[in-house]
Amino acid sequence: MKTILLIEDDPFLVEIYSTKLKEVGFSVIIAVDGEEGLKKMKKKTPELLLLDIVLPNLNGWEILRDIKKDDKLSNLKVVILSNLGEKEEIEKGLKLGAVRYLVKAHYTPSEVVEEIKKILK
């Protein structure tokens, strides 16, 4: 079973995405802020990180930078799931190493799960 770490501070979205991911057979670890997410990642490296950008403590950009500096985490597949949908933000996310940048408003939770399944094939 593949593990996904979801770093998201909106309890409603955490519930929706974790439910959808579990329904298709993923194991889901949840962190509600950046610091907690980094700690959990270092303890058990997931197959994929589903990352929001606007987070308490450490934001998504800081987490991406930390991942790239850490040899153990540098190959981690990261999918950004954010409401920041401007071209500059998307380019920044991909340049910092995300494999996909999904704007929350443009994807249903089911579509997000399909994207993740494609990435982890």
Q: What's the number of domains the chain is made of? A: 1
Write down the mean pLDDT value for the chain: 96
Q: Domain containing 106 — which CATH number?
A: 3.40.50.2300
pLDDT band at 49 (very low <50, low <70, confident <90, very high): very high
pTM: 0.96
Calculate mean pLDDT across residues 96-111: 97
69 Cβ partners below 8 Å, 6+ apart? Answer: none
Residue 68's pLDDT band (boundaries 50, 70, 90)?
A: very high
CB 50 within 8 A of CB 81: yes
pLDDT at 2: 97
**Percent of the chain whose pLDDT exceeds 70:** 100
Instruction: Supply the range of the domain harboring residue 29.
Output: 3-119
